């Protein structure tokens, strides 16, 4: 079919995003819409009605993932556009939902311009991406890609003791295993950056090349408790002082590896946590993320070598790997198409990586996949202050539309 240069209806996109935000909107203009909650059930119904108004067929798989398809003129694997509709508690109006509404707006634009695509176009809503109610995050896409065992996931329990399986059945969105995503020509996921880079560099679009690899460890430092007032300093085995030494060494050694390496000590517990007692035990976590797995593996070597640094104040140090993941690289040919569309539309852009996890990283194991980022003001996300300008939202969806039209013209 001839190439057509189209733009989406930005005002309609804004209106639709606000309508979706009404399902779980908080007092401070955020959203609480936990997976398979009443708010999630209602937004799913609204999403389905929007799709059916366009003549799309809507199917649901056994993990509750929704697939709304605009038929193609050829019986070939579809182009997928989507993300997730669930949020964290007091999350924002854009995280996840932008990717789903983007698919809706792309299809609306095709339909109103009477464009019948050769390939089917499917809008997808993945279940429980956030993991805010049922851990782990990216649960459904993990099951679809074989990363997680469905029978184990069904037994995951929320804070009220409800299992994922029970909530799925109660929601009315427990579909057929035959409806699962099995193959596709491509998956395009538009997402807010959830970080400050694009805004800081005054760019509108990030073409995401990969989701970075990471490693997370728990480090336990064991000393001896004694009286804080009567034990001489040179006779102590103070687990907290030893931990302080270790943290300083960790920061120095990891900072010297690569400026793009990010690392965090997110949890630190001190025992017995009494002001008159020398700490006898400290447990803390350390996670690090980088796109180059050689860097990640060097981090692992450094962490595993902590017991032998000689800065441990006579304490014992034990390291335990909690989890890790390899870098997931997206399909270069689709990244190139997204970049070409961005440039043809005149939008400022850059290639970048994702430090956060997304459904796309799991689906990429069996479907050609790529992601786009649009800026997050002040880098805010997973909070009510999360904000992306309507203009940048519109630009992101325009890039998706242009990329889809390019794919259809080949």
- The tens digit of pLDDT for each residue in 329-352 reads 999 999 999 999 999 999 999 999
CATH superfamily for domain 10-211+327-409: Zn peptidases (3.40.630.10)
Q: What is the pLDDT of residue 141?
A: 98
pLDDT in the model for residue 133 = 98
* Per-residue three-class SS string for 197-223: HHHHCCCCEEEEEEECEEEEEEEEEEC
Task: Report the pLDDT averaged over residues 244-264.
Answer: 97
Torsion sign (Cα): 106, 109, 110, 112: positive
For the chain, give the longest Cα–Cα distance.
Answer: 85
Per-residue pLDDT tens digits for 47-83: 999 999 999 999 999 999 999 999 999 999 999 999 9
Q: Give the residue from 29, 33, 9 showing the smallest Cα distance to 18.
A: 29
Q: What residues are paired with 287 via a beta bridge?
A: 216, 264
Cβ density class 86-100: b for 16+ within 10 Å, e for less = bbbbbbbbbbbbbbb
pTM of the model: 0.93
- Count of positions (residues) in the chain: 410
Domain boundaries, the chain: 10-211+327-409, 213-325
The phi, psi pair for 286, rounded to 5°, reads -140, 125
Encode pLDDT of 108-151 as tens digits. Answer: 999 999 999 999 999 999 999 999 999 999 999 999 999 999 99
Q: What is the CA radius of gyration of the chain?
A: 24
Distance, in Å, from the CA atom of 128 to the CA atom of 69, rounded to the nearest integer, reads: 21
Predicted local distance difference test score (pLDDT) of residue 5? 75
Cα–Cα dist 223/240, whole Å: 9
Helix (H, G, I), strand (E, B) or coil at 128: coil
**Residue 368 C-alpha from the chain's centroid:** 18
End-to-end CA distance of the chain: 8
Q: How far is CA 348 from CA 105, 162, 332, 345, in A?
A: 22, 46, 20, 9
* CA distance linking residue 401 with residue 60, whole number of Å: 25
Give the pLDDT confidence score for residue 3 in this predicted structure.
47
Residue linked to tokens 């690569």: 258
Predicted confidence band of residue 208 (pLDDT cuts 50, 70, 90):
very high
Q: What is the pLDDT of residues 291-301, one digit of tens each?
A: 999 999 999 99
pLDDT digit string (tens) for 170-196? 999 999 999 999 999 999 999 999 999
CATH architecture of 213-325: 2-Layer Sandwich (3.30)
Q: With contact defined as beta carbons under 8 Å apart, do 36 and 87 qualify?
A: no
pLDDT classification of 1: cutoffs 50, 70, 90 = very low
Q: Are 88 and 7 in contact (CB under 8 A)?
A: no
């Amino acid at each position: 079919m001839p190439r057509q240069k189209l733009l989406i209806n930005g005002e309609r996109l804004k209106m639709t995003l606000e309508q979706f935000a009404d399902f779980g909107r908080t007092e401070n203009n955020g959203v609480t819409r936990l997976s398979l909650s009443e708010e999630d059930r209602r937004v799913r119904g609204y999403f389905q009605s929007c799709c059916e108004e366009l003549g799309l067929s809507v199917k649901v798989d056994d993990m509750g993932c929704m697939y709304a398809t605009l038929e193609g003129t050829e019986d070939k694997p579809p182009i997928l556009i989507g993300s997730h509709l669930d949020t964290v508690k007091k999350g924002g109006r854009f995280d996840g939902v932008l990717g789903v509404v983007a698919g809706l707006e792309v299809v609306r634009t095709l339909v109103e311009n009477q464009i019948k695509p050769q390939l089917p176009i499917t809008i997808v809503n993945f279940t429980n991406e956030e993991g805010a109610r049922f851990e782990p995050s990216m649960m459904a896409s993990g099951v679809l890609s074989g990363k997680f065992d469905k029978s184990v996931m069904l037994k995951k329990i929320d804070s009220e003791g409800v299992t994922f399986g029970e909530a799925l059945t109660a929601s009315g969105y427990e579909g057929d295993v035959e409806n699962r995503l099995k193959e596709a020509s491509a998956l395009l996921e538009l997402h807010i950056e959830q970080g400050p880079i694009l805004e800081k560099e005054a760019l509108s679009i990030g073409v995401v090349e990969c989701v970075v690899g990471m490693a997370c460890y728990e480090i336990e430092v064991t000393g001896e408790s004694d009286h804080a007032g009567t034990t001489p300093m040179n006779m102590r085995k103070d687990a907290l002082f030893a931990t302080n030494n270790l943290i300083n060494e960790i920061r120095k050694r990891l900072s010297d590896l690569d400026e793009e390496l990010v690392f965090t000590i997110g949890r630190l517990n001190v025992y017995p946590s009494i002001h008159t007692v020398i700490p006898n035990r400290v447990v803390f976590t350390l996670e690090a993320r980088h796109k180059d797995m050689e860097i990640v593996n060097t981090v692992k070597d450094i962490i595993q070598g902590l017991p032998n640094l000689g800065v441990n104040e006579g304490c014992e140090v034990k390291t335990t790997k909690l989890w890790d993941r390899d870098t997931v690289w997206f399909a270069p040919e689709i990244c190139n198409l997204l970049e070409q569309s961005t440039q043809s539309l005149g939008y400022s852009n850059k290639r970048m990586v994702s430090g956060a996890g997304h459904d796309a990283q799991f689906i990429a194991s069996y479907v050609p996949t790529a992601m786009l980022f649009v800026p997050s003001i002040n880098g805010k996300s997973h909070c009510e202050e999360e904000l992306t300008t309507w203009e940048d939202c519109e630009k992101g969806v325009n890039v998706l539309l242009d990329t889809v039209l390019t794919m259809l013209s080949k």
